Amino acid sequence: MSRKGRRQFGSIRKRKSGRWQASYTAPGGGRVPLGTFPTRADADAALATQQVELAKGTWMNPTGQKLKFGEWVNEWKTTTVDLRLSTRVRDLGYVDRYILPHFRHLCLGDIGYMTICNWIAGLSNGEANAGKPLAPATVVKASQIMGKIMKSAVLARKIPSSPCEGTPRPRIEREEMRFLNPAEVRNLSDTMDHRYRAAVLLAAYGGLRMGEVWGLRTNYVDLEKSSVRIVEIVTDVGGHLVVGPPKTRSGHRTIPLPRVAADALRDHLEQRAAGPNDLVFPAPHGGLVSLNQWRTRFWRPAVTSAGLSPLRPHDLRHTAVALWIAAGANPLEVKTRAGVTSVAFILDRYGHLFPGSEERVNDALDALAASASDRAQGAPAAGERRDAPGKKTPLTLINGSGRRVTRTPDLSRVKAAL
């Protein structure tokens, strides 16, 4: 306990000018000046307000809003430890290209809702990007990262709320998916360089992402069970190829293969005479395959020769899902094979491919309507028992003790009420 008369929170001192200066120690350390006041009572009141906000958990560091955005980003970068390396590099690239040039020298407290709205609009029309409009998906991603940065400032009690909350973002129009039929898949694999023909069939029938194809090793292949295990993937991080685990738990999976893909994979491995831990599909001179280089050197020439342009490598994964559905796979089976986190995603992305139940539903509705029409005309509906005229139908009820009790209802009171 403090001695009688001594302040328990903050301190006040009188300056030579006659004004009273108040300050206190912030949570976690650091002295926070509140400024000067004409009277001691005013300084006391200011300290009391800060003490109440600390007790309620609504305290905000007055110096936080004066912090430059660029300085806060440097602090925020050190907290992005929950991201994969490739995701972190991508996000920081967005920060450097689209966010810092616009906000670097602004104070956190000067960035308001309309500031964010104008910035998003500027990215969309090019005014905030040297006259080059950005695609809606790029604008949305940049605004999402900006939202993370400002939310972290809120959690650190630098600002009271995030100016990014509720800001409008451009609508992303979903790109039309491209699906190949089995004949087109075969044609593409035939025109592909022999070293990667099996990769085409593996992606088109197994649904592997290209990073999963390049990360596949021989000991992850089970030719007896015609399946492959997804254990590692290859990603391009700032021009460097990195091997790591799949992004999600669902990505770790065993994929059953149809004979067309399994046989191609068997022939491929026999021709290569690969060792037990070798890459199934190495680069032409060994090592990991760079998707960008492979796309230029092998993919585009094969697609052009097959007459399938334009076609992306990822379209083989869409093709696999479409073929699974056509073969009768249900949404849960598709989710498991594809290695995605939810059935909802499959239904949202590929739901239009599943066999429709329109005729079955319409037939059932017609049957219900016909039943209602028959009842209106006095005929018993299908499966309905009609009692003799004037005969009351007993009802079997269950009373409070759980015993069954038969009652014959008297509808005279109901009729009288009507």
Domain membership flag for residue 96: yes
Of 331, 353, 375, which closes a domain? 353
46 and 75 in a single domain? The answer is no
Domain membership flag for residue 64: no
Domain membership flag for residue 380: no
Domain membership flag for residue 176: no
200 and 348 in a single domain? The answer is yes
129 and 198 in a single domain? The answer is no
Write down the pLDDT at residue 379.
59
Q: Could you give the CA distance from residue 189 to residue 200 in angstroms, rounded to a whole number?
A: 6
Of 309, 338, 353, which closes a domain? 353
227 and 90 in a single domain? The answer is no
Domain membership flag for residue 393: no
Pairing assessment for the beta strands 221-222 and 31-37 based on DSSP bridges: unpaired
- Condensed to tens digits (0 to 9), the pLDDT of residues 86-136 reads 888 889 999 999 999 999 999 998 999 999 999 999 999 988 888 899 999
Write down the pLDDT at residue 381.
52
Domain membership flag for residue 381: no
Please give the tally of structural domains in the chain.
Answer: 3
276 and 247 in a single domain? The answer is yes
Q: Tell me, what CATH number does 293's domain have?
A: 1.10.443.10
Tokens of 266: 């068997």
Tokens of 50: 């800060």
88 and 207 in a single domain? The answer is no
216 and 81 in a single domain? The answer is no
Using a 10 angstrom Cβ sphere, with 0-12 exposed, 13-18 middle and 19 or more buried, the burial of residue 40 is middle
38 and 74 in a single domain? The answer is no
Q: Could you give the CA distance from residue 279 to residue 237 in angstroms, rounded to a whole number?
A: 20
Say if CB 233 and CB 251 are below 8 A apart: yes
Q: Could you give the CA distance from residue 372 to residue 376 in angstroms, rounded to a whole number?
A: 6
Write down the pLDDT at residue 200.
97
The DSSP symbol for 107 reads B
Q: What is the mean pLDDT of each run of 10 residues along the chain (418 residues)?
A: 59 90 80 86 88 76 81 90 81 94 93 95 89 92 96 88 93 83 95 96 96 95 94 88 89 94 94 87 94 95 95 94 90 92 85 71 80 70 51 46 46 40
Contacting residues for 11 by C-beta, under 8 A, at least 6 apart: 22, 23, 24
Write down the pLDDT at residue 172.
85
53 and 84 in a single domain? The answer is no
What is the extent of the structural domain holding 309?
Answer: 182-353
Q: Could you give the CA distance from residue 209 to residue 338 in angstroms, rounded to a whole number?
A: 9
49 and 121 in a single domain? The answer is no
Write down the pLDDT at residue 177.
81
Q: Could you give the CA distance from residue 362 to residue 307 in angstroms, rounded to a whole number?
A: 41
Domain membership flag for residue 394: no
Write down the pLDDT at residue 402.
44
The DSSP symbol for 104 reads T
203 and 348 in a single domain? The answer is yes
Of 326, 353, 380, which closes a domain? 353
255 and 331 in a single domain? The answer is yes
Classify the phi-psi angles of 390: left when phi > 0, otherwise alpha if psi is within -120 to 50, otherwise beta: left
Domain membership flag for residue 308: yes
